[in-house]
């Protein structure tokens, strides 16, 4: 199943269900440099939910809260805390994407639906994936408005500095133990995707924590979704900690790309984003391990930015701490300089840093 009867153009947006959309939107604006571009709520005739659309270059985040009791959104927040409900794809044919998926065994969340307003029309449909997460197929070539029909242009009335984030590099889904391969099989069967990269617990276990991961990618490899599961270690895997607090499988992190990671991380750090620390010893033999790089090592060490290399080049990456009280969703900032890797060389030092945090939370 390599040739698909429809094509995926990219990640359209990710929608988060949160307890307080207004304050969450403010956080993304003031710390990560997103700009509010669209809104729906009581003022636009949306009686049951409010959503803020935040944009930075090709990245769109939709932040949604319920406006009344006993809603699906409220139930989602009660089970998972704040988290990502929808990883939406832009497609050339939403009906075909939905129909193909359903024919291959996916469960429908939304049948193909035409929605329109004065700015044009879009076709959307959606299917279930792991946990309570969904994939919406957005067909938007006939739409000129700020986001989707029903949303109005919006800003908070103040400008803010961009942090230079460009697009969604990958979206990671954590699964309970034993569920990784079935979920990968699902992406293979429903979407015709392939295994782009894999890593097992022998590669990346530390003294305590271990995981297995398979990166699933679509035909043109624009979409990459690493699927993780916990592996046995001496103590609790960080993936198991996520599952315990999220309640089910779910999105663990969004990796956002930048063309200048040093500038992006400097600004985010100044704005109050907490990043996982990297021990100074990591940088002692860095050039020996990764070869010559353009960036100043002392600057990377000061900011805690990690470097990994493969046969095509290198990449720089750093991870935030969880961005809500539950140890669930976090962000990765990544700059690729040729490398398509997922930072295998960094897992060991990264896990040690995560384990320190787990220990402070009493979860190791």
Summarize as ranges the residues that interact with Fe ion (CB under 5 A): 255, 332
- Closest distance of CB 334 from Fe ion, Å: 7
Instruction: Give Cα separations from 334 to 33, 126, 179 (angstroms).
Output: 16, 29, 27
Which CB sits closer to Fe ion, 132 or 332? 332
Which CB sits closer to Fe ion, 76 or 212? 212
Which CB sits closer to Fe ion, 148 or 254? 254
- Closest distance of CB 299 from Fe ion, Å: 22
Closest CA to 250 of 228, 282, 272: 228
For residue 207, how many other CB atoms are within 10 A of its CB?
A: 12
Q: What is the DSSP string of 275-340?
A: BPP--GGGGTTHHHHH---SS-HHHHHHHT-EEEEETTEEEEEEEBPPSSSSS--EEEEEEEEB--
- Closest distance of CB 184 from Fe ion, Å: 16
Radius of gyration over every alpha carbon of the chain, rounded to an integer in angstroms: 20
The whole-angstrom separation of Cα 141 and Cα 139 is 6
For residue 264, how many other CB atoms are within 10 A of its CB?
A: 26
Q: Which helix (H) or strand (E) element contains residue 80? A: helix 72-80
Which CB sits closer to Fe ion, 148 or 210? 210
- Closest distance of CB 68 from Fe ion, Å: 36
The edge-to-edge listing of strands for the beta sheet with 120-128 is 108-117, 120-128, 134-139, 83-91, 8-17, 59-66, 49-56, 35-40, 152-153
- Closest distance of CB 287 from Fe ion, Å: 23
Q: In 127-194, where does DSSP find H-type helix?
A: 180-191
- Closest distance of CB 255 from Fe ion, Å: 4
Which CB sits closer to Fe ion, 136 or 320? 320
Which CB sits closer to Fe ion, 127 or 318? 318
Phi, psi of 186, deg, nearest 5? -60, -50
- Closest distance of CB 280 from Fe ion, Å: 23
Which CB sits closer to Fe ion, 91 or 251? 251
């Amino acid at each position: 199943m390599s040739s698909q009867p429809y094509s995926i153009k990219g990640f359209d947006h990710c929608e988060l269900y949160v307890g307080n959309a207004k304050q969450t939107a403010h956080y993304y604006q003031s710390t990560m440099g997103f700009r509010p571009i669209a809104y729906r709520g009581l003022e636009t005739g949306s009686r049951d939910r409010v959503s803020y659309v935040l944009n930075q270059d090709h990245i769109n985040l939709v932040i949604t809260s319920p406006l009344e009791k006993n809603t699906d959104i409220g139930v989602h927040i009660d089970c998972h805390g704040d988290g990502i409900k929808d990883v939406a794809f832009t497609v050339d044919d939403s009906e075909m994407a939905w129909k193909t998926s359903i024919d291959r065994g996916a469960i429908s969340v939304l049948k193909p639906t035409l929605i329109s307003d004065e700015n044009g029309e879009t076709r959307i449909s959606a299917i279930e994936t792991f946990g309570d997460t969904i994939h919406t197929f957005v067909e938007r070539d006939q739409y000129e408005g700020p986001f989707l029909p029903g949303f109005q242009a919006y800003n908070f009335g103040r400008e803010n500095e961009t942090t230079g984030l460009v697009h969604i590099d990958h979206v990671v889904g954590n699964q309970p133990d034993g569920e990784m391969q079935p979920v990968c099989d699902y992406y293979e069967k429903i979407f015709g995707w392939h295994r782009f990269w894999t890593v097992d617990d022998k590669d990346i276990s530390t003294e305590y924590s271990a995981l297995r991961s398979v990166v699933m990618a679509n035909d043109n490899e624009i979409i990459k979704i690493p699927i993780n599961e916990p592996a046995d270690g001496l103590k609790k895997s960080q993936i198991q900690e996520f599952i315990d607090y999220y309640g089910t499988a779910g999105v663990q992190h969004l990796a956002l790309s930048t063309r200048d990671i040093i500038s992006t991380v400097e600004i985010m750090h100044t704005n109050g984003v907490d990043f996982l620390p990297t021990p100074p010893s990591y940088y002692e033999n860095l050039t020996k391990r990764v070869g010559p790089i353009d960036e100043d090592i002392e600057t990377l060490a000061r900011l805690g930015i990690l470097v990994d290399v493969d046969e095509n080049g290198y990449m720089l990456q750093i991870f935030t701490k969880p961005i809500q009280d539950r140890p669930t969703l976090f962000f990765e900032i990544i700059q690729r300089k040729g490398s398509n890797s997922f930072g295998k060389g960094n897992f060991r030092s990264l896990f040690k840093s995560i384990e320190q945090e787990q220990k402070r939370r009493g979860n190791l």
